[in-house]
């Protein structure tokens, strides 16, 4: 038994090292994994998961957790343990972890190593000037004010199917200009437990086991359209959070749907205001006094939402997520979400 597990360990270790090393070659990852292997895997996953109305990925996670618990309980309950028992359990545990690592990387995780998406979308990394950042905030506020007059955001009502339909149509419209946006076999579903997801401070997440984009339907309705477009970006192999924000914004802001546009500008204005507050606090204090009351009401509603649900658990979840990002080539961790501001300035440079 030990001999078989040892041989398996060697095989899994070699595969893990090979996959890890492959990640140091972004162009190869893009050519052979992100554009050839991953699209096939993701379409199969979404094709299967789309047949069921609920998020099956969560149940797959649950099965894995139960298997781990069962293994630990079985080992702990054994009365007399010899050295071979400990060695067997250790090998079994290491093999399990290596198998999880290999599965994650092959099913989706290698996308973390692909070249930056902004390069593919021809959006510059040129540093911005303070005036451009301030003007960008004014641009978003102006767009939001205009949209707010034409729509009643308090009446937003979206189910996952409608969110997925509008987002899918826009992705495929953009695909006519840039094949990168091609999105087939949608699999956008509400999370199975929106209360727990809200308590953990999560708006949505991509499940690499099932290929599903899971949306927290308990969120304020004016946030949901952008979150949907963001999570679909993950399904297309955009792994890094700042890049998924960029793709999600481009899609949501290019729909013919005013509510989607509002959600896109609103979510991006949040990032821009945070950036201004961090770098230019005096300008920030001046800007927020000029934000129209209806828009400030949206910020207040979202803040009250998170104050209601987001307890101490979210602090631990943020730290955990921060480490996960750092382990996957995002050295800034959760701060990488702010990188979107640089691209937004360059994307709207001619408007500024």
Question: Which three-class secondary structure string do you get for the chain?
Answer: CHHHHHHHHHHHHHHHHHHHHHCCCHHHHHHHHHHHHHHHHHHHHHHHHCCCCCCHHHHHHHHHHHHHHHHHHHHHCCCCCCHHHHHHHHHHHHHHHHHHHHHHHHHCHHHHHCCCHHHHCCCCCCCCCHHHHHHHHHHHHHHHHHHHHHCCHHHCCCCHHHHHHHHHHHHHHHHCCCHHHCCCCCCEEECCCHHHHHHCCCCEEEECCCCEEEECCCCCCCCHHHHHHHHHHHHCCCCCHHHHHHHHHHHHHCCCCHHHHHHHHHHHHHHHHHHHHHHCHHHHHHHHCCCCHHHHHHHHHHHHHHHHHCCCHHHHHHHHHHHHHHHCCCCCHHHHHHHHHHHHHHHCHHHC
CA-based torsion, 42, 44, 48, 51: positive or negative: positive
CA–CA separation, 58 vs 61, rounded Å?
Answer: 5
Please name the residues in contact with 45: beta carbons below 8 A apart, sequence gap of 6 or more.
107, 187, 210, 211, 212
- For residue 139, give both structure tokens: 């641009």
pLDDT at 1: 64
- Alpha carbon dihedral 193, 195, 201, 202, in 10-degree steps, equals 30
CA–CA separation, 269 vs 249, rounded Å?
Answer: 11
- For residue 92, give both structure tokens: 């079994």
pLDDT at 168: 96
CA–CA separation, 188 vs 195, rounded Å?
Answer: 18
- How far apart, in Å, are the Cα atoms of 126 and each of 113, 277, 338? 22, 21, 15
pLDDT at 328: 45
How wide is the angle at C-alpha 118 spanned by C-alphas 33 and 197, nearest 5°?
75
Q: What is the pTM of this model?
A: 0.89
Token pair 């920030």 is found at: 284
- For residue 65, give both structure tokens: 């957790």
Output the average pLDDT for the chain. Answer: 87
The CA radius of gyration of the chain, in Å to the nearest whole number, is 22
pLDDT at 15: 97
Task: Tell me the angle at which helices 281-288 and 258-279 cross, rounded to the nearest 10 degrees.
Answer: 140
**Which stretches in the chain have pLDDT values below 50?**
312-330, 333-337
pLDDT at 300: 86
């Amino acid at each position: 038994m030990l001999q078989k597990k040892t041989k398996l360990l060697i095989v899994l270790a070699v595969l893990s090292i090979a996959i890890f090393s492959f990640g140091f070659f972004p162009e190869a990852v893009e050519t052979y994994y992100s554009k050839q292997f991953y699209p096939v895997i993701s379409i199969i996953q979404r094709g299967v998961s789309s047949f069921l109305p609920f998020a099956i990925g969560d149940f797959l996670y649950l099965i894995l957790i139960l298997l781990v618990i069962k293994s630990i309980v079985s080992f702990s309950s054994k009365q007399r343990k010899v050295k071979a028992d400990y060695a067997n359990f250790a090998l079994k545990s290491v093999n399990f972890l290596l198998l999880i690592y290999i599965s994650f990387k092959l099913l989706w995780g290698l996308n973390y190593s692909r070249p930056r998406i902004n390069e593919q979308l021809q959006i510059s990394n040129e540093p911005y000037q303070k005036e451009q950042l301030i003007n960008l905030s004014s641009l978003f506020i102006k767009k939001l004010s205009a949209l707010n007059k034409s729509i009643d955001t308090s009446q937003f009502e979206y189910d996952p199917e409608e969110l997925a339909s509008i987002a899918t149509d826009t992705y495929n419209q953009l695909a006519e200009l840039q094949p990168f946006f091609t999105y087939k076999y949608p699999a956008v579903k509400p999370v199975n437990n929106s209360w727990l997801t809200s308590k953990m401070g999560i708006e949505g997440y991509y499940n690499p086991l099932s290929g599903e984009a899971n949306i927290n339907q308990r969120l304020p309705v004016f946030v949901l359209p952008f979150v949907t477009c963001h999570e679909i970006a993950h399904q297309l192999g955009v792994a890094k959070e700042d890049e998924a924000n960029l793709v999600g914004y481009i899609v949501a802001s290019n729909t013919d749907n005013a509510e989607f546009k509002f959600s896109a500008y609103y979510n991006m204005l949040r990032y821009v205001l945070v950036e201004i507050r961090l770098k230019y606090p005096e300008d920030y204090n001046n800007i927020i006094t000029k934000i129209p009351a209806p828009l400030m009401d949206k910020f207040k509603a979202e803040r009250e939402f998170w104050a209601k649900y987001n307890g101490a658990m979210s602090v631990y979840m943020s730290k955990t997520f921060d480490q996960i990002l750092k382990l996957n080539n995002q050295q800034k961790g959760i701060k990488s979400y702010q990188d979107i501001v640089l691209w937004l300035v360059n994307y709207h440079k001619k408007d500024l």
